[in-house]
Structure 1
């Protein structure tokens, strides 16, 4: 009765604004390839050593304006922008020969599909050239034809109705972008002299070019809700991730970069200071092969981080620094999660006095001095007892406040933390992938995170500045979702990333426990 298609309503709800009243488009400015630097930091490090360590530098950041070149200098960030797929993927041998696959017809792809499927680390086989041909054909559908299907309009006269298949969700989310961003592939609006005569228009449900005249950008890009970009990016990643046994999943616990000062930085008689920096990223996890574990919502990994941001003024240094900091934060959080493999969580404050002893000294009367024991009777003893109430299953707010216990757990119990894709025997570093999105574009980052850096952030002594070396970042070019050729290139890059991360390595047990 109330089964209304909400995506259809979202696509059809367009503000009726005359074209001459449409606000100007939002300019698209990508991040600068130059990392901000601080000359004062270099002077301090060359003269009398670093004034503050990495953790103290990060803990001193309280406002967005505090993110400057000193923070990036403390990490030793080194960037390589517009990297090709062979540079983004650590081992280019796992990149399929897409040029050869593009030359195959659909029938030839079916015949050679079995020979192009490789074993994965979950015990299954990777998708082959047939799956690639299907995804490429779906993404090659022109935007206007795909949008007509999403808007439930008939196909143009003389054209067949396109079959979006697995890419329907992607085009549905991309169609929502047309309210806030100009589609560079859309035909220019027709003038009054070009409008067809009334007798030349199609009737009885036949499509005409005038059906799309009411669908054009009516708002600025900065007004687009953030969930639109998250939905579009997740739908695009799933086109590749599903076939590799992975999925984009929102974490149940807020992703946080855990920081701890070294013991030497603490005052006498005090413990090291622990803090965290929250991140708004989500992750790509591997789906368990056991059905009962998958139904229980368990995941494995993470394999990569997904960061979709709404920054639009990247020509300003403050916005530029914040955007790069968000990407680095997502990568470092992912590195900490992957480093949890084979470890158990050490609950912060466990066994300490402030999690076991009463803060008020345990005197009579409780913390506010007005509490009485339950055995003490107040009032007339012979009075009738009040009616019994059904015992509540949860504690009252005040009783919950009085509980003396450590902070809540920061590890997800349903996540099997594992450094999937890291080469066997390599422990000095971990290659972290971040799938980043700005405006209506996508870029893939690879950040090589040294193990020494994770140890310093976990509280290890930092005897010298940047003892871990450089924090190297490779970033691919920005791919426009509106342009067919570029989104196919983005799909190929994601395919190569998943093929590398999900590869089967020698000596690895493929009979996964779940």
Structure 2
């Protein structure tokens, strides 16, 4: 009917330029705080004739993030090595594949050599080979505009077909969302030659920034990093997932009285080993963590110095390094829980067992005071209590005047005497039962809450709730057997860049932070040496070459962490653990001689009982021989 007026409706035209009122771009400046430690046994802070201040006490003095200072990193012995290569990050270079040789393989040659390039994993499967690597590389090398065309469903240029993104489709979709807030650094600003009009589809496929980088929701960066890591981690039997409980670094001080426990929270996520059975997968059981992912929304770093290796004491850079270290220490603490059981904070302490108010019963609190004043049994302000003005009306409706009961047809039939015997009993409908026995229509039933009252819950004296994940099998996957440290990998993300960080966490440092170490300092020096941090360069995910290099580094990291540990190495590690347990038992006996003497007495009693049994057996044998 309106076909004759179609020529009057203007066609939709593509934008001829960038959108208007676009805020200025957010500058990209990376944190460059690189603390250095000259010696592993550097003298701790404090005079030589005085006992240095405990690192746990120093950390527990932090109340606000702005209080984090350089002194805290010096107390921990943080040593940062920037711009580390793959050989510097991976503890054993033998697990770094020969990517240069893989790049020269053709499609047929890669298919034939694929099985020879796969190595056994700790899960019992085999790692991906060169064929998978070349496939991921080909997908990541697609230009961003080509990926945006496929994601936005825009027709390809004439004479070309749609790009097959394959596994990278979700990655380009997340990258397209980031291009609304960040300038695409892979392409320069291009304009059509004079006298020529640019294709409408080309304009629609070109990334256009509409907001500033500091306005981007933090979830966009987190999802992009997880999608990128999944391209490699999924083939190694791992996946990234958020922790069910808030990641916390628990620290405990060894005071003379009762130990003081506190924690630092972290917004990191973890990479877990996926279960191998269907039942565990349905139950949501995970194993690990294997590594940590720390995506931060900070954008206010100061401009870098002229020397790229020069350290800067910018407060934002200092705080950013602290967030990375907390993520690494939380991961190391979770990995160290393998074979251990959770102990509640304050279990057996006086403040978790003795009543408050000096042991007295205490008095009314809150609305209980109003309850005593009014003399009403119902708690004032209770959500389940009826309103006072409507008490009489509700009571009148709940108890109506007595009326002659109506006899239903079914009851009349049941009361009649039949020549064929009694009729089968009939049941009243549910609605009829409710109307005859329940309250009248229009009256709301007052539900009684089954939850404990807030005040009674406050009066209960008990330790804090458990913090371990019940569906997580904590394990130090990829840890070197027999080592006194744990190499923790953190995938750090800022802006639209990622960096791989390896933190070597000594076991002695974790024992000091958890309050299990007997001696924190030895001759005024740190007993754990230093906390070494090695960081790779920042890879720009907008640039195809950078994301391929980042994929190679993630591949090396997963190849090392998910490796299959040889049996002889496991046996050696078990023997070292048994030897350490014996040393701990001997040390406990030396520290607590009363317990050691009691154990000796019990052992002597057992030996005496065994000797008595042997004597009785020998006498019975002698009697039998004499009788014979």
By percentage of residues, which structure has more helix? Answer: 2
- Indicate the residue corresponding to 1:471 in structure 2: 531
CA distance, structure 1, for counterparts of residue 81 and residue 526 of structure 2? 19
- C-alpha distance in structure 2 between counterparts of 1:19 and 1:262, whole Å: 61
Residue 10 of structure 1 is matched in structure 2 by: none
Q: Match of 1:324?
A: 321
1:193 CA displacement:
2.8
CA deviations on 1:165-217 (whole Å, 9 max, x unpaired) are 111111111111111111122242425835428xxx6xxxxx7323235x411
**TM-score by structure 1 length?**
0.85
State the 1:395 CA deviation.
Answer: 3.4
Paired residues, what number?
473
> Over residues 477-504 of structure 1, what are the superposed CA-to-partner deviations in whole Å (9 max), with x where a residue is unaligned?
1111011111001001001101100000
Deviations 1:218-245 (A, max 9, x none): 2221111111110110000111111111
1:462 aligns with 2:520: yes
**1:6 matched residue in structure 2:** none
Query: Counterpart in 2 of 1:25?
Result: 25
| Alignment of structure 1 residues 114-133 onto 2, 5 Å | 114-133=115-134
Query: How far 1:393 sits from its partner (Å)?
Result: 4.7
1:283-339 deviation per Cα after TM superposition (whole angstroms, max 9, x unaligned): 101111121111111111111110011121222711010111011111011111111
Aligned with 1:434: secondary structure? strand
1: CA distance, partners of 2:31 / 2:51: 29
Q: Is the contact between residue 182 and residue 212 of structure 2 (CA under 8 Å) also seen in structure 1?
A: yes
Q: CA RMSD, aligned part only?
A: 3.0
Contact 2:18 2:208 in 1 (8 A): no
Alignment of 1:104-503 (within 5 A): 104-190=105-191, 193=194, 195-196=196-197, 208-212=201-205, 215-264=207-256, 270-315=257-302, 317-360=314-357, 361=359, 363=361, 392-426=449-483, 428-459=484-515, 460=517, 461-463=519-521, 464-503=524-563
- Render the CA deviation track for 1:71-125: whole Å, top value 9, x for unaligned: 1100111111111101111111011111111111222222111111111111111
Distance 1:33 1:82, change over 3 A: farther
Q: Indicate conservation of the 8 Å contact 1:15/1:218, yes or no.
A: no
Offset of 1:400 from its aligned partner? 3.5
Q: Which runs of 5+ in 1 are unaligned?
A: 1-13, 202-206, 265-269, 510-514
Cα drift, residue 44 of structure 1:
4.9
Find the aligned partners of 2:114 and 2:449 in 1 and give their Cα distance.
Answer: 60
User: How far apart in 1 are the matches of 2:192 and 2:462?
Assistant: 71
Post-superposition Cα deviations, 1:399-455, rounded to whole Å, max 9, x if no partner, equal 4434332211111111111100012222x1110000001111110011111011001
- The answer to whether the 8 Å contact 2:247/2:267 transfers is yes
TM-score between both structures, scaled by the size of structure 2: 0.70
Structure 2: distance between partners of 1:194 and 1:35: 57
The answer on whether the counterparts of 2:46 and 2:53 sit within 8 Å (CA) in structure 1 is no
Contact 2:295-2:492 within 8 A present in 1 as well: yes
Structure ID, larger Rg? 2
* Equivalent residues of 2:290, 2:561 under 8 A apart: yes
Residue 470 of structure 1: how far off its partner (Å): 1.1
Identify if the C-alpha distance between structure 1 residues 57 and 441 changes in structure 2 by more than 3 Å, giving closer, same or farther: same
Q: 1:50 to 1:485 in 2, by over 3 A?
A: farther
Q: How far apart, in 1, do the equivalents of 2:558 and 2:153 lie?
A: 34
Which whole-Å CA distance do the structure 2 matches of 1:184 and 1:377 have between them?
Answer: 71
Quickly say closer, same or farther: Cα 1:364–1:177, change in 2 above 3 A: closer
In 2, Cα distance between the equivalents of 1:242 and 1:43? 44
- Give distance in 2, aligned partners of 1:420 and 1:475: 21
